Amino acid sequence: MVATSVHLRVSGASFTLTFTNKSLQLNVFRYVPFLGKLSLSCTEYLAKVHLPGQHMVLFNPDEPVKSIMSRAAAEQTTLTEFFSMNSLNNEIGEQAQNTTYQDFPQYFVWHKVSKTWTKRQKGFSLGRMYFVPPTGGERFYLRTLLTVVRGSKSFNDLRTFEGVEHSTFQDCCRSRGLLEDDGEWRICLTEASVIQTSSSLRILFASMLLFCQLSSPENL
């Protein structure tokens, strides 16, 4: 009598089918998730990416337009306060200047009420920036710069390289060599591979082929 076993694994359980020419046996093994508390508290924080004056503002429809505009101009965001932290002339400012925007939550904590960053005293947080597709225009190039540039104290400072302030973030990326050899698209795909599904990655790559100027798409 010859017995054959087939092992299957479906989300949360393992199945083993053993069958012969006379019988069929099914064994089910369930995986029980660990419900204990980890010793290290780890969270994930998504940092906002916006162009100057284009951040999100919450308002009451009955609020006067002038009041909304005035409040929006003074609004503090994770990005504008990142610039403010880099402007500090102390030990905290020095640490901020050596940290990229996406890594900022590892060393600093964002307080939603006061809208300020403070030095992290405990715990651990993985920082990421909101994803921006290549079709996002200047916002895409802004995000590209934020992945590599440290110590910027303003949007204008972020657009400055070797003493020259460029008129656009794209021009600054080009001056820094980030647009050579499809560097910006490679960075985009690498980051997207962490947070996007396989179908979304295919759509993203197709968008690059259609709307972007790729020099060597076969090497991406």
Q: Can you give the chain as a three-state secondary structure string? A: CCCEEEEEEECCEEEEEEECCCCEEEEEEECCCCCCCCCCCEEEEEECCCCCCCCCCCCCCCCCHHHHHHHHHCCCCHHHHHHHHHCCCCHHHHHHHCCCCCCHHHHEEEECCCCEEEECCCCEEEEEECCCCHHHCHHHHHHHHHCCCCCCCCHHHHCEECCEECCCHHHHHHHCCCCHHHHHHHHHHHHHHHHCCHHHHHHHHHHHHHHCCCCCHHHC
Q: Mean per-residue pLDDT for 198-202?
A: 82
| CA proximity to 82, closest of 108, 56, 46 | 108
Q: Mean per-residue pLDDT for 46-71?
A: 80
pLDDT of residue 27: 46
Contacts of 210 (CB under 8 A, 6+ apart): none
Q: Mean per-residue pLDDT for 195-199?
A: 79
More confident residue, 158 or 5: 158
Q: What is the pTM of this model?
A: 0.64
Q: Judging by DSSP bridges, how do beta strands 13-19 and 4-10 pair with one another? A: antiparallel
More confident residue, 138 or 198: 138
More confident residue, 180 or 100: 100
Both tokens of residue 220? 């991406």
Report residue 97's pLDDT band, with 50, 70 and 90 as the boundaries.
very high
